[in-house]
Amino acid sequence: MLIVWYYFSLPTPLFASETSTVLEDKQQKLLAAKIADDGQWRFPLTQEVPQKFIDCIIQFEDRGYYSHWGISPSAIARASIQNIKAKRTISGGSTITMQVIRMARKGQGRTFIEKIIELVLATRLEFGASKKEILSLYASNAPFGGNVVGIDAASWRYFGREPATLSWAEAATLAVLPNAPSLIYPGKNQERLLKKRNRLLDQLVSAKKIDKETCELSKQEPLPGKPHAIPQIASHLLHRAAQEKHSGQRIISTIDGHLQERVNTIIENHHSILKGNEIHNACALVLDVNSGEVLAYVGNTNNQGKPEYESDVDVITAPRSTGSILKPFLFANMLSDGELLASMLVPDIPTQIAGYAPQNYNQTFDGAVPAKRALARSLNIPAVRMLQSYGIEKFCYKLKKTGMTTLTFSADHYGLSIILGGAEGKLWDITGMYASMARTLNHYTSYNGKYDKNDFHPPYYTAQQKKNPELENESFIDAASIYLTFEAMVEVARPDEDAGWKKYTSASKVAWKTGTSFGYRDGWAIGITPNYVVGVWVGNADGEGRPGLVGIETAAPILFDIFSVLKPGKWFTPPYDEMEKVEICKQSGYRASDICEPNDSVWIQKSGLRTESCKYHRLIHLDANETYRVNSNCEDVTKMKHVSWFVLPPAMEWYYKSKNATYKELPPLRADCETEGLRGMEIIYPKQFSKIYVPVEIDGSMGKTIFQVAHRNANTSIYWHIDGVFVGTTQNIHQMGLTPDEGIHTLTLVDEEG
Ligand SMILES: [Zn+2]
């Protein structure tokens, strides 16, 4: 029974005290630490006790440490004699092992019985643990004065450095403290502490651990002054890790400490400028693409002493309005689902969908724009129309599948405005989503044209066990569509959101996108290379908007400063196995039809073969001089010339022709071909050159005059313009209530035939 009791006599774990949460970088350098819940700076058990400290502690406390079994009879005998002579306890004769047991059993009185228990348990500890482990227990749990426990915390608090870098004088200072922790307090104690330290240094010379010169130099070193603050260079990640089940642990993160410090500096440099415009918060996240590991995590700016600016909030995990930052996901999914080619013209015309009228940032219309240009320029109207054709429901589903966790409402709740920032997203999710796409593209090449089904995953801040790839032939976004999306995002100079032409350069090619939320509350910038994805957010934590708070002006400069400190790398390898070279109509960007001319040979994603061919080239019939359109009613068929003509629908044409000088409108119909019966439409009211009156309503406001038009083709749409400005569309019944100002006006009506 005694043996059984002896075997189980030690509690596990030996030390149950709460510990500080400690965050380290991937080289195991301290990034930040949080005080333990009991108010002590007590770091978790250290495995690496510095050799200098070991030498000092053995010299000072227990010279026979490596030869005894936990107790030292000779030391006890010597101590007893000393104590009897002095008639009081001046020495305990305790070994380091016994002191570990004593520290673990804190709160026990110093009785004879307790001493016996300590002796027995010390031998038990020696049986169960190596000498090195016992030294770790000692170094991690010894008191060093005040609320400082353990060598790690002591080294940082008193010397501002990690324990491995301690000098002999510093190690000796710390070695004498556990025995008399109060000596660390300034005042008279300093002299006693200095004497103790220097005596130990002398002993180290006798024990041949240091030479005389080292000893003399060490004695010149001052004692520690005011305690240092524990480093806090990744404090938001520390607090996040503590909340995510890592409280009280030593967390070896994936952070690159050097990069973390540089990103901290970049954020603070920009913060000092931004706060001039009352913008107080910003955050940045740097991810390694292939592993998904977080390399830098700066959760907010530092507004010390100004709690109203909420520096403690980790904005990386805060849901914010996404502005335009999700547009590339729509583009990539439409490519992948065979609904779009990057070069295709998409309409950019006044648009009203169920009472919702999106506007471009600069309030102008291009008529028609290639989809990739619309993406690069972040045009809102093409994005909304593209989403309408793709489907909100499907888009929300894809966003969730890509890694967006904040879409808690139904697709209907968000509506089409989701593409312009109608939903909230976290920088954490969004940066991770872009990284997953880049990873899929990289792996497509390294896995010889296969996809790893686990490649879409959130970022990690602690190292994950490497999983074997589970290869599949398909992905819900194919590699070619991802590649073409990134290519569209690459331009380094672009007029974005009317902030003027901004030129950013980087040592490597970067795909990037900015975003600005409604009311200038959030500025976003995301940058992608094959190695890194960088996400930046700028704004106010309390949501206050500021004029000039646009992504391109506030977040993009931070983004490119961060890329300037990252290693430049190569660009993505084009995934040719997922691509096909096809003839594209140069004018429409659609797959070329038989009558398209000129054409381009272009690599498109394979699924793009499902897109329709050019619908804007039409075969028209001209007279011999090619100045008039004719038809068989007025011209001999043998005299006609059949010509292919690029014709945009009227509303698109109206705006397109003003921005594209090369656009040639259809030649007019020759007068004799325009018989009375063939005339397409007629204005019923008002008649040419007539005077109209706009009624005044009962409440005094201006009413509307009803304009009316008849059209030969009952189903056609008519596009209405007053003085060249588009005012609306009618279908079937061509009536429109208008309120023109006083004066002379021109009404222009265009039907689907142009
Ligand atoms: Zn064409």
Per-residue pLDDT reduced to its tens digit, 8-58:
888 888 888 889 999 999 999 999 999 999 999 999 998 889 999 999 999
What's the pLDDT score for residue 631? 86
Q: What is residue 483's three-state secondary structure?
A: helix
CA of 614 to the centre of ligand 1 (A): 4
Mean pLDDT of 695-717: 83
Integer Cα distance of 568 and 120 in angstroms? 62
Give me the sign of the Cα torsion angle 17, 22, 24, 30. negative
| Contact present, 476 and 327 (Cβ < 8 Å) | no
CA of 661 to the centre of ligand 1 (A): 18
pLDDT at residue 678 is higher than 60: no
pLDDT at residue 300 is higher than 60: yes
What's the pLDDT score for residue 345? 97
pLDDT at residue 62 is higher than 80: yes
CA of 596 to the centre of ligand 1 (A): 4
CA of 347 to the centre of ligand 1 (A): 15
Integer Cα distance of 370 and 592 in angstroms? 15
Give me the sign of the Cα torsion angle 316, 320, 325, 331. positive
What's the pLDDT score for residue 676? 47
CA of 654 to the centre of ligand 1 (A): 19
Integer Cα distance of 153 and 46 in angstroms? 10
744 CB contacts (<8 Å, ≥6 apart)?
none
Confidence of residue 677 (pLDDT cuts 50, 70, 90): very low
pLDDT over 70 for what percent of the chain? 96
CA of 592 to the centre of ligand 1 (A): 5
Q: What's the Cα-to-Cα distance from 392 to each of 88, 178, 419, 430, 449, rounded to whole Å?
A: 84, 66, 9, 18, 30
Name the nearest CA neighbour of 248 among 18, 555, 72: 18
Q: Which two tokens stand for residue 213?
A: 């010169």
CA of 590 to the centre of ligand 1 (A): 7
pLDDT in tens, 209-229: 999 999 999 999 999 888 899
pLDDT over 90 for what percent of the chain? 61
Mean pLDDT lowest among 191-195, 506-510, 600-604, 636-640: 506-510
Mean pLDDT of 456-481: 94
pLDDT in tens, 421-439: 999 999 999 999 999 999 9
Mean pLDDT of 481-501: 71
Burial grade of 313 (CB within 10 A; 0-12, 13-18, 19 or more): middle
* 227 upstream amide cis, omega within 30 of 0: no
pLDDT at residue 617 is higher than 80: yes
What's the pLDDT score for residue 500? 44
CA of 627 to the centre of ligand 1 (A): 21
Q: What's the Cα-to-Cα distance from 494 to each of 499, 528, 733, rounded to whole Å?
A: 10, 17, 43
pTM, two decimal places: 0.86
Looking at the DSSP bridge assignments, the partners of residue 641 are: 622
* 13 upstream amide cis, omega within 30 of 0: yes
Mean pLDDT value across the chain: 90
pLDDT in tens, 366-416: 999 999 999 988 899 999 999 999 999 999 999 999 999 999 999 999 999
Q: Which two tokens stand for residue 160?
A: 């501002």
What's the pLDDT score for residue 497? 45
Integer Cα distance of 715 and 370 in angstroms? 29
CA of 595 to the centre of ligand 1 (A): 7
What's the pLDDT score for residue 492? 54
Integer Cα distance of 689 and 721 in angstroms? 17
Integer Cα distance of 147 and 158 in angstroms? 12
CA of 346 to the centre of ligand 1 (A): 14
Confidence of residue 501 (pLDDT cuts 50, 70, 90): very low
| Contact present, 528 and 511 (Cβ < 8 Å) | yes
Pairing of strands 148-149, 41-42: parallel
CA of 368 to the centre of ligand 1 (A): 14
What's the pLDDT score for residue 410? 93
CA of 157 to the centre of ligand 1 (A): 73
Helical ranges in 504-581 per DSSP H: 551-565
pLDDT at residue 498 is higher than 60: no
Mean pLDDT lowest among 29-38, 335-344, 559-568, 723-732: 723-732
Q: Which two tokens stand for residue 405?
A: 């966790």
Q: Is 253 a catalytic residue?
A: no
Active-site residue, from 24, 61, 497, 578: 61
pLDDT in tens, 237-296: 999 999 998 889 999 999 999 999 999 999 999 999 999 999 999 999 999 999 999 999
Integer Cα distance of 685 and 693 in angstroms? 12
Mean pLDDT of 595-605: 95
Q: What is residue 232's three-state secondary structure?
A: strand
CA of 647 to the centre of ligand 1 (A): 9
Integer Cα distance of 583 and 563 in angstroms? 37
pLDDT at residue 701 is higher than 50: yes
What's the pLDDT score for residue 342? 97
CA of 665 to the centre of ligand 1 (A): 15
CA of 583 to the centre of ligand 1 (A): 10
What's the pLDDT score for residue 352? 79
* R_g of the chain computed on alpha carbons: 38
pLDDT at residue 83 is higher than 80: no
CA of 335 to the centre of ligand 1 (A): 19
Q: Is 61 a catalytic residue?
A: yes
Which position has the higher pLDDT, 635 or 233?
233
Active-site residue, from 20, 155, 253, 324: 324
